[in-house]
Structure 1
Amino acid sequence: MAAEGHNQYMMLLSDLYPFNMFVPEPSAGTLFPPHWHEACMEMIYVTEGTAEFRIGGQQYIVMPGDLVFIAEGTIHSGYLTDGIPQYYTILLDRSRMVYADTGNLAYSALLTGRLDLPVILRSGDPHYESLTSVVATVIHEFTHRELGFEHAAKSQLHLLLAYLARFYSASSAPSAHGQIAASRRIERIKSVIEHVERHYSEPITVGQAAEIAAMSPYHFCRVFKEAVGRTFNEYVQLFRIAKAETLIRDTDLPITLIADRCGFGSVHYFDELFKRYRGLTPSQVRKNAP
């Protein structure tokens, strides 16, 4: 499941080489909404500013120079703290990327095996210089786009995978009982997020969400906030506002119709909530849109 609305793809090499890069486009205080990538690992390299990341139920304040690793299937979200940070995101399907360039099964297994990654790598940490040097080179190739940059980026990405396998290969031992239970809870939260993305234009209550997650409302609210970093109602409001802002900027639909399509009920409530999170009214955002 890929993030919607809050990041712009810089380039995709090809369908046979599944790698992409993003630059941030925040909306309503959100850098990127809660989401996950079932088949892709994600790396975020922060170059300027700070932000709040929520990764696997834990809060992290990221700073310039931080290299963030997000494993396949892990729920993550990002929020503004003080100004708009600058960072690059590398989204990488390890299995398909390795398969695209080699038929060597032993090599493929080495570079796509389970990894015991740190969430954040900072200056002075083991392997920081080796990994950030490769990531910085990939970013340079894609931002400068000189002759042969695609091939240069590919070679660096394979070097990056080799380093990750060398430094962080993990045992394939089965998870402990507590980890399995936590994983099941997260899968239920994912079901709720998917439901909101499909039905955000309709009324959605905590009770309905808790039922989808097969939890009591109290337990659901606690688990959801731990996983996402926002209450369920806050998440729904932010998601709807982000959808509404896209329609305000990219279409000529009347504000009243946008409010209805995005599940706000009344245009007065929409105006009030939108201004609370964005600092501007919907009409002001439309007026300022390019």
Structure 2
Amino acid sequence: MINMELYEQIVPSCFLFVDRRCFPDWEIIKQKIDFHDLTFVVEGKANYYVNGEKHTVEAGDMIYIPEGNLRQAHTFKESPMHSYAFNFYMHPDNGLHLPFETVTKKHITVEILSYIREFTQVWMSKQPGYQMHARGLLTLIIHRLLTISFHQTSSVHADNRINKVKGYIIDHYSEDLDLSSVAGIVNLHPVYLSKLFKANTNYSFKEFLNLIRINNAEMMLRAGGFSVSEVAERCGFRDISYFSNVFKAIKGFPPSTLRK
């Protein structure tokens, strides 16, 4: 399973982006790269060679070549490739590579494609602040790819019903929520929702609800202006002792240490 925490601090810095609409004789000469190459194929076909190993790619495929690898490529003359290619460095530069195969199938979702199109507009227009905007969009793209890979390595595909439940919890965490009432929102039996939620998130419904509540409680306490009991009530806890116990179990320290 992918450890998402390994990638929390990475910041991708794109120095070259290409909306690559290949001519029939397009090629990349053989060369060791000192950057990361993330390419999304939307039309046509090409052969990529990574450290001498041949990979044939076509529409819908994603190519990832980390720094330090030999890269070579050419398109098919009868079906020239159209792709979006990101060449970037990752900071901090600690040798960490993204956990993707050289070629991955079915990773180009509608959401990712919309980010790529927005990135294209930002990169081409080069308005003031475009590099920050582009960096944020590339980070979003990588985050979505990591999330998809995380679910696939967990042998579970993201479920829109679970996303809806998570969104509802985040919007209504301060209210009295229980599994039965939330299950009705997505027309599922509570027992089935409980199993589905655990499979998709690795949390039980109650664990996720408490996590959202405690994260919000921590932000409120750090900001100041509220007592511990006020924060507990505003975050959906009716028992201050239970709130303190849950807070310490999740954060490792009692909420009173954050009171200003």
Report the TM-score when normalising by structure 2: 0.48
User: Could you say which structure has the larger radius of gyration?
Assistant: 2
